[in-house]
Copies of this chain bind each other. A is one copy, B any other.
Amino acid sequence: MSPPVTKQRILDAAEHLFARDGYHATSLRCITQAAKANLAAVNYHFGSKEALLEAVIVRRLTPLNEMRLGQLEALMQRAERSRRVPSCREVLRTFVEPTLRQRQKDSETGDFIALIGRTLAEPRGVAMTIFMRHMDPLMIKLFQALSLALPGLSQQLLFWRLHFAIGSLSHIMRCHERYSLRPEDVNIDLPVDELVELFLDFAAAGMEAQRWSV
């Protein structure tokens, strides 16, 4: 049996519009029209607009986090078996690579990842609570792994630098269309693999930086 396609069409349309215009600026009428569904379908299938947002987030975040967690645990086990410590770059990669690969996958525009990027930018928004509930366990494991990879860093320093790195990532997750200051020969549509390496160059170097003062 094929699942009710209406639900999926609504999820797809909502994902796209939430990511493009934001939660508050997107109306259910706009969503249902794009999904070729009736206005009442949202409240019938999901209960409310906010519950729809949660469904949009959960649908993709769950498998994404499973992949990230799987890669992180695999890395840690490999490191443990060979009695060495994982590098900062390796640890970051388990988080970053699935993220940016997801960006190119879904609906050829990276709607979901852009939505998460926006969520991270609205700390008090409705989406933040939903998002954090699904991210916390993974983030704790990521923090522990980075502690191992960067034994010279205090908890304080590690916290802030991870904060900076997540900021960078969430920024490129939003995949702006309005770029200012773009020199004519800069390629915006970078292949994912290259973007991953470019980002890891930057983030790993930043995490491992020597302190300038004190």
Contacts and interface: CB of A to CB of B under 8 A. Distances in A.
A81 interface: no
A206 interface: yes
Contacts of A120: 121, 171
A145 to B, nearest CB: 12
Contacts of A160: 186, 190, 195, 198, 202
Interface string A5-43: 000000000000000111011000000000000000000
**Chain A interface SS verdict (over half):** helix
A105 to B, nearest CB: 20
A32 to B, nearest CB: 19
A171 B178 contact: no
Interface of A: 20-22, 24-25, 89, 117-118, 120-125, 128, 132, 135-136, 139-140, 142-143, 155-157, 159-172, 174, 176-178, 180-183, 185-187, 190, 195, 197-213
